[in-house]
């Protein structure tokens, strides 16, 4: 195996999760809804969308930022930052990780965003146009900036390690996890990794309409049908996840309560220019991530797909998977069919969901597919499937040609715990798997 | 006579910049530096902009930066009233 080796072969593991998604507040709530296939897509309630062609979204319902954050932070933060700050707190608590002044250089922060704080930005621009420049908030200077979540997380927790922000549209959540792994390998013991987005405001919606990738259907049950015969586009959503990525040895030394899993491979590619006739770069990203993880396609137990819900994009992804795994060669799922496409939040949430799926030994379903498109040759999981999951591949694509792939391996400890607690799941899973 | 009081300042700061955990603005805070109250330079700019609109007084950004406590802020605003009327 050749390739760049950055520093010692440090293992990067996930030790904490903070989830804020349409499917639930907190990892437990999210996983319960996701495993049960409870979709959270509905009519947009955050603003009057009745005059827009797109009227559905995956919204986080009962989240009141003032319940979770000091009032000092509310006037200076967009909703996407409020969500990220709260999810960060939950992730740190989950990892039982505390920052003290002596180790503030030991914590890195990597976040991804696809839009920035659009709701905040729109409000201030409206004030600029209607009431004049003197009324625009001083906090506008950073609150709608792409990198704001990295800054606010660093400031709130007084962190001084490596900090960065990645902007690769929907691929960003995975790119952030990949970069966190790189930082850990380069010697940063712990990295807070966030992919959280929210731009459910007129400006956020309108900016996505010209892509032609959003479904204009009004029925939440049929709007977003990834890999479905009558797919017409995706649905937007808000939220995402924060992951604590740590050096495995450092995590062991401090007695981290749990290891969700290890990030064993990551690769990112760009698509060729439109009209080149060459195939898209998604399959190449997946193959490179597998090679880097030193695993064969046969070792992958499940794929969390990008699942655009746009026929051409779904076909391209299905073909990439078929080329790598053979026809129907691996269970494929897209739990984002329950939340909508969360922008930079999607990849981070999929990684969290994949790690939770490993613990439970259950592949969560892709919902609302309708009739699967028969030409795609996919083993699409449309009902939760019991399966021992040791290794998972997570894929994401962003507009502009971004592709990213992550290979995850379940932590031995949770896997063994699960097997001990739920002794027959292995057998049932094996039966299911042999039938594919 | 003061046209702008420390209660005006507290109200506006609460509205536009919030209140930090563990800080009681209702206490005797006139001489407490803003950074100890949890307010950074942006919070002061935001506060100054609100005071300018509500009290129709001009508070140049460059001068606001030199004000370091609530009591000094109140004196600064009242001084600007005098400067404008004078």
Give the pairing type, strands A107-112 and A239-247: unpaired
Q: Hey, which residues does A20 pair with through a beta bridge?
A: A25, A240
Cβ-contact A308, A234 below 8 angstroms: yes
Residue B63: the pLDDT is: 86
Asked if A134's CB is within 8 angstroms of B16's CB, the reply is no
Residue A388's SS3 state is coil
Which residue in A241, A236, A198, A19 sits closest to A111, CA to CA? A241
Distances (CA, A) of A275 to A284, A310, A323, A396, A420: 18, 18, 21, 22, 53
Q: Nearest chain A residue to B60 by CA: give it.
A: A134
Predicted pLDDT of residue B86: 60
Q: Give residue A145's pLDDT.
A: 94
Contact A66/B at CB under 8 A? no
Q: Mutation test of the interface with chain B: which of A138, A142, A148, choosing the one with the most B Cβ atoms within 10 A?
A: A138
What is the CB neighbour count within 10 angstroms for residue A358?
Answer: 27
Task: Please return the burial class of A45, using the count of CB atoms within 10 Å of its CB with bins 0-12, 13-18 and 19+.
Answer: exposed
pLDDT of residue B1: 52
A75/B42 Cβ within 8 A: no
Residues of B in contact with A71 (CB under 8 A): 14, 18-19
Alpha-carbon gap: A409 to the closest alpha carbon of chain B (Å): 40
Contact A137 B46 (CB under 8 A): yes
Residue of A nearest to B40 (CA): A72
Q: Distance (Å, rounded) from C-alpha A356 to C-alpha A321?
A: 23
Cβ of residue A76 closer than 8 Å to a chain B Cβ: yes
Question: A96 pairs with which residues across the strands?
Answer: none
* DSSP codes, A186-205: TT-SEEEEEEEE---SHHHH
Residue pointed to by tokens 């100890």? B36
Residue A260: its H or E element: none
Per residue of chain A (436 residues), give pLDDT as tens. Answer: 444 444 557 999 999 999 999 999 999 999 999 999 999 999 999 999 999 999 999 999 889 999 999 999 999 999 999 999 999 999 999 999 998 878 889 999 999 999 899 999 999 999 999 999 989 999 999 999 999 999 999 999 999 999 999 999 999 999 999 999 999 999 999 999 999 999 999 999 999 999 999 999 999 999 999 999 999 999 999 999 999 999 999 999 999 999 999 999 999 999 999 889 899 999 999 999 999 999 999 999 999 999 999 999 999 999 999 999 999 999 999 999 999 999 999 999 999 999 999 999 999 999 999 999 989 999 999 999 999 999 999 999 999 999 999 999 998 644 444 444 444 343 333 333 333 3
Please check whether residue A434 touches B, CB under 8 A.
Answer: no
Interface touch A72/B46, C-beta < 8 Å: no
CA angle A184/A351/A234 to nearest 5° reads: 135
Rounded to whole angstroms, how far apart are CA atoms B15 and B6? Answer: 14
Give percent of chain A with pLDDT exceeding 90: 88
Per-residue pLDDT of A140-191, as tens digits, reads: 999 999 999 999 999 999 999 999 999 999 999 999 999 999 999 999 999 9
Please give the residue of chain A at the shortest CA–CA distance from B59: A134
Tokens 């195996």 belong to residue:
A1
Inspect the interface and report whether the beta carbons of A75 and B17 lie closer than 8 Å: yes
H or E, element range at A405:
strand A402-410
Only one residue has tokens 């740590």, namely A246
Please provide the average confidence, as pLDDT, over all residues in chain A: 92
Q: Which of A71, A72, A135 sits opposite B53 (nearest CB)?
A: A135
The pLDDT, as a whole number, for residue A205 is: 96
**What pLDDT is stored for residue A274 in this prediction?**
86
CA distance B55 to chain A (A): 13
Residue-wise DSSP of A122-184: HHHHHHHHHH-GGGS-TTHHHHTSTTHHHHHHHHHTT--S-EEEE-BTBTHHHHHHHHHHHHH
Q: Is the CB of B65 inside 8 Å of chain A's CB atoms?
A: no
The Cα of B85 is separated from the nearest Cα of chain A by a number of Å equal to 21
pLDDT number for residue A271:
97
Using an 8 Å CB-CB cutoff, list chain B residues near A75. Answer: 16-18, 46
Of residues A269, A111, A92, A267, the one with CA closest to residue A180: A111
CA distance A312 to A318: 10
Residue A62 CA to residue A23 CA, distance in Å, equals 11
Are B53 and A74 in contact (CB < 8 Å)?
no
Q: Given this model, what pLDDT does residue A209 score?
A: 95
Q: If phi over 0 gives left and psi between -120 and 50 gives alpha, with beta otherwise, what is residue A275?
A: left
How many angstroms away from the CA of A76 is the closest CA of chain B? 7
Give chain B positions within 8 Å (CB) of A134. Answer: 49, 52-53
Of A70, A75, A141, nearest to B20 by CB-CB distance is A70
Per-residue pLDDT tens digits for A192-227: 999 999 999 999 999 999 999 999 999 999 999 999
- In this structure, what are the phi and psi dihedrals at residue A30, rounded to the nearest 5 degrees? -60, -45
Given the cut 0.90, state whether the ipTM is greater than it. Answer: no
Q: What is the pLDDT of residue B82?
A: 85
Residue A359's pLDDT is 96
């Amino acid at each position: 195996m050749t390739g760049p080796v950055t520093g010692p072969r440090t293992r990067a593991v996930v030790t904490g999760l903070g989830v804020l998604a349409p499917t639930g507040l907190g990892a437990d709530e999210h996983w319960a809804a996701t495993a049960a296939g409870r979709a959270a897509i509905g009519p947009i309630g955050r603003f009057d969308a009745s005059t827009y062609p797109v009227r559905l979204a995956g919204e986080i319902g009962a989240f009141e930022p003032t319940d979770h954050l000091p009032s000092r932070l509310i006037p200076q933060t967009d909703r996407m930052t409020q969500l990220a700050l709260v999810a960060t707190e939950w992730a740190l608590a989950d990892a039982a990780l505390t920052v003290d002044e002596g180790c503030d250089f030991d914590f890195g922060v990597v976040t991804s965003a696809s839009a920035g704080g659009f709701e905040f930005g729109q409000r201030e621009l409206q004030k600029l146009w209607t009431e004049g420049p003197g009324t625009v908030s001083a906090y506008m200077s950073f609150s709608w900036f792409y990198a704001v979540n990295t800054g606010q997380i660093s400031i709130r927790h007084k962190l001084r390690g490596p900090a960065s922000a990645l902007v690769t549209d929907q691929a960003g959540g995975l790119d952030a996890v990949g970069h966190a792994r790189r930082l850990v390998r380069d010697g940063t013991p712990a990295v807070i990794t966030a992919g959280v987005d929210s731009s459910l405001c007129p400006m956020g919606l309108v900016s996505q309409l010209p892509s032609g990738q959003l479904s204009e259907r009004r029925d939440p049950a049929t709007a977003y049908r990834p890999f479905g015969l009558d797919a017409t586009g995706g649905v937007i959503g808000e939220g995402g996840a924060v992951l604590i990525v740590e050096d495995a040895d450092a995590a062991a030394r401090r007695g981290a309560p749990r290891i969700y899993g290890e990030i064993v491979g990551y690769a990112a590619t760009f698509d060729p220019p439109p009209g080149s006739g060459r195939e898209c770069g998604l399959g190449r990203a997946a193959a490179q991530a597998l090679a880097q993880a030193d695993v064969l396609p046969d070792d992958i137990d499940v794929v969390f797909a990008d699942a655009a819900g746009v026929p051409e994009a779904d076909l391209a992804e299905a073909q990439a998977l078929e080329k790598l795994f053979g026809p129907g060669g691996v269970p494929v799922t897209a739990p984002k069919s329950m939340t909508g496409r969360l922008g930079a939040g999607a990849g981070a949430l999929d990684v969290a969901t994949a790690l939770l799926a490993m613990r439970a030994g259950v592949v969560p379903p892709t919902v609302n597919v309708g009739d699967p498109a028969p030409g795609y040759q996919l083993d699409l999981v449309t009902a939760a499937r019991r399966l021992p999951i040791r290794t998972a591949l997570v894929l994401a694509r962003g507009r502009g040609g971004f592709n990213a792939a992550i290979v995850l391996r379940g932590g031995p400890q949770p896997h063994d715990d699960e097997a001990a607690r739920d002794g027959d799941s292995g057998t049932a899973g094996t039966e299911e798997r042999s039938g594919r | 006579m003061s046209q702008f009081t420390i209660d005006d300042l507290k109200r506006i700061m609460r509205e536009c910049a919030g209140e930090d955990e563990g800080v009681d603005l209702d206490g005797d805070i006139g001489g407490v530096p803003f950074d100890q109250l949890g307010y950074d330079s942006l919070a002061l700019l935001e506060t100054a902009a609100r005071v300018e609109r509500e009290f129709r007084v001009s508070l140049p950004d460059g001068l606001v930066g030199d004000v370091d406590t609530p009591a000094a802020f109140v004196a600064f605003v009242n001084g600007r009233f005098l400067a404008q009327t004078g």
